[in-house]
């Protein structure tokens, strides 16, 4: 059985995610939150993560604190397992997480041109609770709820990479980009998790004139129309009250229809929500 040794004390996203990925990929493993011994560092069957002052994949040592040029331990593990490049493509939060861990919130905020307080204010209380629970344990085995949660989370993260890559290729083949007044809209008929990989498809298209996404709704039997990147010229409140429209959000960024109207009809609805040269209500 493999061992995973990770630092004691306060847990962080980096070590938590690194351990989760290892639990997802190793057949059997025990987790220990303590400082590593010399025997741990010399044993390839013992993964020493985010502690130990060594980066040596052949010996399963994955610390970054001794070398400022290295990314976080989670990235080192992902590189070792061959998932790093795909994770860079699929997960928008992936590069930010390493920067936050290695550089800290102030340098990260400076890089993105925002105030550090914005990054700190966006921290999730869910993250805090889970990390605090992980901080309180000294060891974890398969019988432990946190262990099972981390293993399933790791498996889900890795499987989602593949699912998004497959969906991106499908969107390239099946989705349409149509003109809607002076803007464009993506129209997709895929009804299984309709928004899956849509952000990747938008990045692939690289077309700044796309302001609307039209997909099957997950709340009802009609279409969902969504404003992209809070485009200033799109406001779905313009079709509020139309007999074909089931729902319009009070801020005008999303709407849905009762039924799957013919594509030309839902595009006509979307066109009514596009205004050029007019000052729209901010959402």
- Kindly write down the DSSP assignment for every residue of 103-119, as one continuous string: H-HHHHHHHHTS-HHHH
Across the beta sheet with 223-227, the strand order is: 176-180, 183-187, 210-216, 223-227, 254-257, 245-248
CA-CA distance, 133 to 61, in Å (whole number)? 25
pLDDT tens per residue across span 269-280: 999 999 864 444
Provide mean pLDDT across the span 78-104.
Answer: 94
CA-CA distance, 193 to 154, in Å (whole number)? 20
Residue 21 burial (CB count, 10 A) = 24
Q: Which of 279, 29, 9, 276 is nearest to 148 (CA)?
A: 29
* Per-chain mean pLDDT for the chain: 94
Q: Exposed e or buried b for every residue in 22-46, given b needs 16+ CB within 10 A?
A: bbbbbeebebbbeebeeebbebeeb
CA-CA distance, 33 to 39, in Å (whole number)? 16
Map out the domains of the chain as residue ranges. Answer: 2-164, 175-271
CA-CA distance, 181 to 193, in Å (whole number)? 28
Instruction: Let me know the angle formed at the C-alpha of 176 by 174 and 181, rounded to the nearest 5 degrees.
Output: 170
Q: What's the maximum distance between 2 C-alpha atoms anywhere in the chain? A: 72
pLDDT tens per residue across span 145-177: 999 999 999 999 999 999 999 999 999 999 999
CA-CA distance, 131 to 139, in Å (whole number)? 14
Rg (CA), the chain: 23
Q: Which of 237, 189, 192 is nearest to 213 (CA)?
A: 189
Q: Is the pLDDT of residue 192 over 90?
A: yes
Burial class (CB in 10 A: 0-12, 13-18, 19+), 248: buried
pLDDT tens per residue across span 14-25: 999 999 999 999
For the entire predicted model, the pTM comes to: 0.87
CA-CA distance, 198 to 168, in Å (whole number)? 7
Is-contact 157 252, C-beta < 8 A?
no
pLDDT of residue 275: 87
Provide mean pLDDT across the span 40-51.
Answer: 98
pLDDT of residue 174: 97
Question: Which pLDDT band holds residue 282 (cuts at 50, 70, 90)?
Answer: very low
| Helix 94-103, helix 105-112: angle, nearest 10 | 130
pLDDT tens per residue across span 208-223: 999 999 999 999 999 9
Using DSSP, state whether 223 is helix, strand or coil: strand
pLDDT tens per residue across span 108-124: 999 989 898 888 888 88
Structure tokens at 224: 């969902």
pLDDT tens per residue across span 48-75: 999 999 999 999 999 999 999 999 999 9
Is-contact 52 41, C-beta < 8 A?
yes
CA-CA distance, 113 to 125, in Å (whole number)? 24
Q: What's CA 179's distance to the chain center, in Å?
A: 29
CATH class of this structure's domain 175-271: alpha beta
């Amino acid at each position: 059985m493999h061992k995973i040794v990770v630092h004691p004390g306060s847990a962080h996203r980096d070590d938590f995610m690194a351990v989760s990925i290892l639990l997802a990929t190793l057949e059997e493993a025990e987790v220990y939150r303590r400082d590593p011994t010399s025997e741990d560092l010399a044993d390839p069957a013992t993964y020493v993560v985010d502690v130990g002052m060594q980066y040596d994949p052949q010996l399963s040592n994955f610390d970054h604190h001794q070398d400022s040029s290295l990314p976080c331990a989670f990235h080192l593990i992902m590189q070792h397992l061959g998932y790093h490049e795909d994770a860079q493509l699929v997960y928008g939060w992936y590069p930010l997480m390493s920067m936050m861990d290695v550089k800290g919130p102030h340098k990260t905020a400076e890089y993105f041109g925002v105030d550090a307080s914005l990054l700190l204010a966006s921290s999730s209380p869910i993250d805090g609770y889970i990390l605090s629970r992980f901080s309180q344990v000294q060891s974890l085995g398969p019988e432990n709820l946190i262990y099972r949660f981390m293993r399933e989370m790791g498996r889900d993260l890795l499987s989602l990479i593949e699912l998004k890559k497959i969906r991106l290729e499908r969107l390239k083949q099946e989705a349409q980009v149509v003109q809607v007044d002076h803007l464009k809209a993506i129209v997709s008929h895929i009804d299984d998790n309709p928004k899956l990989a849509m952000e990747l498809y938008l990045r692939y298209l690289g077309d700044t004139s796309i302001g609307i996404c039209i997909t099957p709704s997950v709340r009802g039997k009609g279409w969902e129309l969504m404003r992209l990147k809070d485009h200033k010229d799109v406001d779905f409140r313009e079709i509020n009250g139309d007999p074909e429209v089931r729902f319009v959000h009070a801020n005008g960024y999303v709407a849905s229809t009762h039924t799957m109207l013919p594509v030309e009809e839902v595009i006509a609805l979307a066109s009514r929500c596009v205004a050029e040269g007019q000052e729209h209500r901010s959402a």
